[in-house]
Amino acid sequence: MQVIEKEEFEQKKENIIYQIKRGSVFIYPTDTIYGIGCNAMIDNAVQKVRDIKSRYTRPFSVIAPSVQWIRDNFVVDEKAEEWLAQLPGPLTLILNIKTEGIVSELVNAGLKTVGVRIPDHWFSKVVEEIGYPIITTSANHVGEDYMTNLDDLNSEIKNKVEFTIYEGEKQGRPSKIVHLEKEEVKIKER
């Protein structure tokens, strides 16, 4: 696994974006913790993330390329607009899909909803440039501690990702989940 610091990322940005678009599985920083992800539209890349995490049934969330992309592809009512106004930030909004094919069917495990985020972090601008949603899930096996620095990264995961974009230790915790797919809004802290 190659470790890429932010400065190096800026120098190699075009090549790294090309790798992400083509299906590389990688670790990246957010406003909360480190995530593991890939282009959410490529089935075999999404499956590789599932295999790495040993997470076969629960859905994944995505980092959205923009708020407008969310509006274009999900059912966004008045209550959802109130939450969209709080992005970017440490929120994952669970919304009903309006447009089929916006993510691989492996992302949401057959559900008609997807969790969407826009972290308050420079990496969100990279996702915007990519123009595709990126899987966002914690860089750990199910049930293990979240990755907040390189020392926390499980060696099995380290050997299965192409690269890590690293910017030092994180002090955050996973995003708050806001269920907007039903009439009643439900909020889950993690």
DSSP code per residue over 57-126: SSPPEEE-S-HHHHHHHB---HHHHHHHTT-SSSEEEEEEB-STTSS-TTTTTT-SEEEEE--SSTHHHH
Instruction: Give 19 or 184, the one with higher predicted confidence.
Output: 19
pLDDT at residue 189 is higher than 80? no
pLDDT value of residue 27? 97
pLDDT-derived band at 62 (thresholds 50, 70, 90) equals: very high
pLDDT-derived band at 134 (thresholds 50, 70, 90) equals: very high
Sign of the C-alpha dihedral, residues 76, 120, 25, 39?
positive
Question: How many domains does one find in the chain?
Answer: 1
This prediction has a pTM of 0.93
Q: Which residues contact 131 (CB under 8 A, 6 or more apart)?
A: 65
The enclosing domain of 74 has a CATH number of: 3.90.870.10
User: What is d(CA 122, CA 28) in angstroms, rounded to the nearest whole number?
Assistant: 11
pLDDT value of residue 143? 83
pLDDT at residue 190 is higher than 70? no
Q: What is the mean pLDDT of residues 5-28?
A: 96
Q: What is the mean pLDDT of residues 171-177?
A: 84
User: What is d(CA 46, CA 44) in angstroms, rounded to the nearest whole number?
Assistant: 5
CB-based contact 116:64 (threshold 8 Å): yes
Q: How many CB atoms lie within 10 A of CB 124?
A: 21
pLDDT value of residue 37? 96
Q: How high is the mean pLDDT of the chain?
A: 93
Percent of the chain with pLDDT over 90: 79
Domain that holds residue 16: 2-188
| 42 three-class SS | coil
